[in-house]
Structures are given as C-alpha cells and as structure tokens.
Amino acid sequence: MPGRHRDPRRNTALRATAAIAAAALVLAGSFLVYRQLNATSSCEGEAPLSVAASADIVDALRATADSLNQQKVAVDGKCVAIQVTMVEPADMTAALADLNSVSLTGIGQPSGNTQIPDVWVPDSATWLARLTTAAPAFQVAQAPSIARSPVVVAMPEPIAATLGWPAKTPSWTALLGAMTSGTGLRVGIVEPTRDAAGLSGLLALGAAAAGTGANSQAAATGALRALASGRSVLRDDLLARFPRSKDPAALKSALSAASLSEQAVIHYNATKPPVPLAALYLEPAPTALTFPYAVMPGLPTTKAGVAQRLLDEVRQPAFRDRLAALGLRAADGTYGSALATPKGAPAAASPNPAATPSPAATVAAVDRALSTWVAVTLPARMLAVIDVSGSMLERVATAGGATRAQVTLEAARRGLGLFDDSWAVGLWTFSTKLQGDRDYKQLLPIGPLSQQRNQMLATLGTITPKPDGDTGLYDTILAAYETVQRDWDPGRVNSVVMMTDGDNDDDNGVSLEQLQAKLKELADPNRPIQVVILAIGDKINPAPLQQITKLTGGGVFQAKDPAKIGEIFLQAISLRSAAPAS
C-alpha cells in the first residue's frame, strides 16, 4: 500500500501551534508564580511571635510556623516571624504563677530561664484553669483546643489479659481493688504535680475511692501509697520499668500499670518492645490532654494578628496530618489512617459536655487530690501544736454539734493516717499556764512514726481543752520554732503546724513585735523551717499571723467553717514545700 501523503504546510502549522501553546503555558505558569511571590513577598520588616509548647506537640507547631515564615505571610504589612520553643507545662505554670503572685499546690519556684511567651500551648487545660482560678486577673484572650490525646491505663498485654482485656475493660473500682488487695499489681505514676496524664489518673482513682462508701479514706490512702511507691519524676523513667520479657518472673517484678496518654502508649509500642502495652480506656474517661492554644493577655494588635494567623493554620488538614505523625488526635477526638491507635481505641474521643465538670469544680478536685498527694509523698519532720484553750469547746453546728476541739483532733487523726513511716512527728498542746507559767506542753517529742504511730493516735484521744484557758499563741510559736530548729533535718521539710481558733491573748508573754524580732534573729536561710498556721473559725484575725509566716515561710490557712478543717489541713500540709520568705 502506498504511503500516506503528508502536507508539509500542515506539519509546520502544528509545530507553530504547539510552540504557541507551550509559550502560553510558560507565561501562565510564570504569571501564577509571580502572583504567588507577589502575594507572599509584599511584606517588609518582621511581625514576631513567641510560642511555648509542650514537648508532645512542639514539632507539629514548629513545622507549621516554619511554613508560614518561609511563605513570608504578611500581617499588617509585616512578615510573620514565629518562633516555637519547647517548655515543660509545669515550668511555665510556675513562671506565670510567680508573675501573678500566687502559689499552686505542688508547683515550685520558677526557673530563671523560663520566658513568658505570646502564646502558650500546654498539654492540658488544667494548668490554665488552676492559674486563672488562683489569679482572676490573669485571663487569656482565647484558649481553644488544637489537639487531643485520651488518658488511658497502660498495662503489659499479658497482665491486661488476666483482667479480661481485650474482650472487656475493668472498671476504676476494680482497678482500685487490685491495687490495694495484695494481688501483686505493681502500679506507677509520673509525678502528678508535673505530669498532666499522671494527675488525670490520680483524679480518676480518687473519684473511684470516694465511691467505696465508709471505707473511702482507707481505699484512697492505700491507692496513694501504692502509687507513691511506684512514682517516677520523668515519663521515660517510668516507661523503662515496664517488663522487657514475657517470662513470668519478669512480669511479676516489673511495672504492671500506669496512667499515660494514648500518645505515650503509641510511641512506646512503635519501638516494637518485647512486651507491648495495652491501652485500657476506662469509664468514666479521665480528663484528656487537650492542648489549649492560650493567647496571653495584653498582646499588641499585630502580635494578636499573627497569633490568629497561626491558629487558622493549625485548623487546616495539613496540621491534622502532622498531629497523626506524632501520635495525636485532632481537637475533636477523631483521627485519620496515619494514626496507629492501640487495640480497642475508640474511633472518636471527643468530650461529653454533659459529663464535663465546670472549671471551678475541676480546680477544686485537683487541689484536693494534689494536697493529699503531697501530704503522702513529701518526707517531713513536723511538730503539730494544737490549741486547747477554752474557746475550743465551742460547738460547731455544721459538724453535728461537735466541739471545735473534736473536729480539729479528727482532722489530725485523718492526716496522721496519710503520713507514711518515713515521717517524723511530734505533738504539743497549748493554752495558758499548762505547765506552771509555761503556755505549752509536750505530749510526744518529734520522732519517727514507724516507732510511735500508735502512741500518737492514743495521745490524740486524750486531749481535752482547758475550760478557763486563754490563747498563749506567740510564746508557743517561738518555743516550737526553736525546738524544730534545734534538731533540724536536712533530708526533710522541717515545719511547725499550729492549729488555733483564737488571737494571742496572753498579756504576760512576748508581743507580736518581740516575736517578729526574735524570728528574724533565729531564721537561717540554709536551715529553713516552715510555720503553717490553721486558723479555725471566722473570728480570728489572720493579719498578725501572716506577718509571722512572711518571716518564716509557710502560710496561714483559715477554715471559717470549722467543719472544713480537714480540707484546710491537707491544703496547709501540701504547701510545706514552698520556699521560705526572704
């Protein structure tokens, strides 16, 4: 068959058309690139924004910020310059608490290296709730959640299987019983004053203990002591204590359970350990990690605009993918296929608004839990001094007609039940002229509870007020301070805990001015002694007491309703670790 004739003019036309089309595509592409460059390069100078974030989410935020910086995104005509740094939430909480002149249970003094950022992204909204409750003037502009990680009970899979996993999940009550009934379950916790997941688990166990009826305090105390014996300061240290072999002996001697974030379990299992961890999603679900995006108050307009631009960006699908790569869920609790969740994980883990407590209720529960925790775990040497003046015979209507002395002694007995054998405790009473002209009387010297717990309990049962006794408060404070100072122990928190319902009314003793002068003379910053005063009732004047504790460290805690002395006692004990006043 003869070949088809090709028209050279047609070929030339086709080549010309193709060339024109190619040129058009190049020009169109160039125009699009020009538009993009023009859109992102029309900024001059910098619009800086500092962001401090929890280690769990910092990489996702830093990648997002870097992308905006590289695109030269403009806010108010200036190029955004967002810097993201990692800061531990407890450290930032300490810095913000110090800035706002408040103290939070379990939060120490801030590091001099912690800088207040423009935006703070801690792992939990609890940090913010505690700060804003203690310092009402500190209110962040906004703090929406930008990620989520449920809090689970992590167990080696062979141990979880003995509790019915994965077919069923034990209840908190069942877990509490296993912890305190000698089953050999070795539990651990990351220090809950610094770790949000540890705190969340502590709150859940506390709620379970409260539901055990008459035995609630014994159950709570047993759980706290079990957790305290297995606590770790760092999460990595706790994870290292899980078993590295399925051998029964290894399983028995290693850590059996701990409250951790879902993210922590995902990361642990991603290392392909010999014994993977099961994640138990117990109900009611503990408070999840929600990563609030907290814009600090008082930002200038441009910085506030940059903060909003970054927030808009983290609400895009690309950020959800970055979260999944870190083992985190999106803020609504959902996740994509890139997130390898543990077996049995819910498809969504969003909060139930009807079951979510108010911020005030959350903070109150946190304060109670941490007060009790610190009381149990902080080694101490304490002299307890109890008022036995005549006013302590006054009846308390809100306590069923019990006297002030009775509710105070009951608080002391309950507190004693929390202290383990590492504590050293002494006991005095005071009024006026209890021993000759002396206003105070030693019932037991300061000694280890391992040797005198039963004697302490028995002695508390013999204390009765002196009907005609007045309140020799200042003489007693001075004598108690000197006694604790005499055998000061560098390995413990040394403290005097005074429980009184009255102002000093001993005209024959030292005055307030004389007491202050003597305490200034005695105080040694290298041998601090905390003076903690529990003021019982609403008639006592706290001002002179605060002048005293300002010199020594410690604090004044007033139970206007004497029936609440037990709660106030725990708060007071928990703040013994505060640094002495300078």
Give the range of the structural domain holding residue 200, as residue numbers without chain letter.
151-280
Cβ–Cβ < 8 Å for 360, 378: no
Domain contains 161:
yes
Q: Which band of pLDDT confidence, cut at 50, 70 and 90, is reported for residue 353? A: low
pLDDT > 80? residue 11: no
- How many folded domains does the chain comprise? 3
Burial 466-498 (b: 16+ CB within 10 A, else e): beebbbbbbbbbbbbbebbbeeeeeebbbbbbb
Domain contains 582:
no
Average pLDDT estimate for 31-45: 52
Average pLDDT estimate for 484-496: 92
The token pair at 252 is 């028995």
Tell me, rounded to whole angstroms, the distance of Cα 433 from its chain centroid.
Answer: 45
Considering the domain architecture, whether residues 410 and 499 belong to the same structural domain is answered as yes
- CATH code of residue 57: 3.40.190.10
Considering the domain architecture, whether residues 104 and 158 belong to the same structural domain is answered as no
pLDDT at 376: 75
Average pLDDT estimate for 449-466: 95
Average pLDDT estimate for 97-113: 86
Considering the domain architecture, whether residues 204 and 98 belong to the same structural domain is answered as no
Considering the domain architecture, whether residues 164 and 143 belong to the same structural domain is answered as no
Q: Which band of pLDDT confidence, cut at 50, 70 and 90, is reported for residue 356? A: low
Considering the domain architecture, whether residues 246 and 323 belong to the same structural domain is answered as no
pLDDT at 351: 56
Domain contains 313:
yes
Domain boundary among 256, 280, 304: 280
pLDDT at 181: 66
Higher pLDDT, 186 or 41: 186
pLDDT at 213: 67
Domain contains 143:
yes
Higher pLDDT, 224 or 561: 561
pLDDT at 311: 97
- CATH code of residue 518: 3.40.50.410
Q: Which band of pLDDT confidence, cut at 50, 70 and 90, is reported for residue 451? A: very high
Q: Which band of pLDDT confidence, cut at 50, 70 and 90, is reported for residue 14? A: very low
pLDDT > 90? residue 422: no
pLDDT > 70? residue 527: yes
- Name, in order, each residue with C-beta under 8 angstroms of 538's C-beta and a sequence gap of 6 or more: 558, 560, 561
Considering the domain architecture, whether residues 396 and 531 belong to the same structural domain is answered as yes
Domain contains 30:
no
Domain contains 132:
yes
- CATH code of residue 246: 3.40.190
Considering the domain architecture, whether residues 141 and 71 belong to the same structural domain is answered as yes
Measured from the Cβ of residue 292, the count of other Cβ atoms closer than 10 Å reads: 24
Alpha-carbon distance 156 to 316, whole Å?
A: 36
pLDDT at 373: 85
Considering the domain architecture, whether residues 159 and 275 belong to the same structural domain is answered as yes
The token pair at 144 is 């929406």
Average pLDDT estimate for 291-298: 96
pLDDT at 200: 95
Cβ–Cβ < 8 Å for 224, 373: yes
Higher pLDDT, 60 or 104: 60
Q: Which band of pLDDT confidence, cut at 50, 70 and 90, is reported for residue 579? A: very low
Return the CA Rg of the chain. 31
Considering the domain architecture, whether residues 563 and 436 belong to the same structural domain is answered as yes
Closest by CA position to 369, among listed 24, 105, 40: 105
Higher pLDDT, 107 or 81: 81
- Label residue 143 exposed, middle or buried (CB < 10 Å: 0-12, 13-18, 19+): buried
DSSP 188: E
pLDDT > 80? residue 478: yes
pLDDT at 206: 85
Higher pLDDT, 350 or 193: 193
Burial 30-42 (b: 16+ CB within 10 A, else e): eeeeeeeeeeeee
Considering the domain architecture, whether residues 421 and 527 belong to the same structural domain is answered as yes
pLDDT > 50? residue 582: no
**Is the whole-model pTM more than 0.75?**
no
pLDDT at 36: 36
Q: Which band of pLDDT confidence, cut at 50, 70 and 90, is reported for residue 574? A: low
pLDDT at 349: 59
Q: What percent of the chain has pLDDT over 70?
A: 88
pLDDT in tens, 322-335: 999 999 999 999 88
pLDDT > 70? residue 38: no
Amino acid at 118: D
Domain boundary among 248, 280, 312: 280
Q: Which band of pLDDT confidence, cut at 50, 70 and 90, is reported for residue 220? A: confident
Measured from the Cβ of residue 384, the count of other Cβ atoms closer than 10 Å reads: 25
Domain contains 539:
yes
Average pLDDT estimate for 249-272: 95
DSSP code per residue over 68-104: HHHTT-EETTEEEEEEEEE--HHHHHHHHHHHTT---
Average pLDDT estimate for 206-212: 80
pLDDT in tens, 140-164: 978 999 999 999 999 999 999 988 8
pLDDT in tens, 226-240: 888 888 999 999 999
Domain contains 170:
yes
Length of the chain: 582
Mean pLDDT, the chain, rounded, equals: 86
Average pLDDT estimate for 516-536: 93
Considering the domain architecture, whether residues 253 and 113 belong to the same structural domain is answered as no
CA distances for 580 relative to 92, 105, 135, 238, 526, angstroms: 21, 15, 21, 32, 10
Average pLDDT estimate for 428-447: 96
pLDDT at 498: 95
Lowest-confidence pick of 130-134, 272-276, 336-340? 336-340
Adjacent-strand bridge partners of 53:
86, 121
pLDDT at 144: 95
Considering the domain architecture, whether residues 299 and 431 belong to the same structural domain is answered as no
CA distances for 494 relative to 229, 387, 424, 491, 552, angstroms: 22, 20, 10, 9, 11
Domain boundary among 234, 260, 280: 280
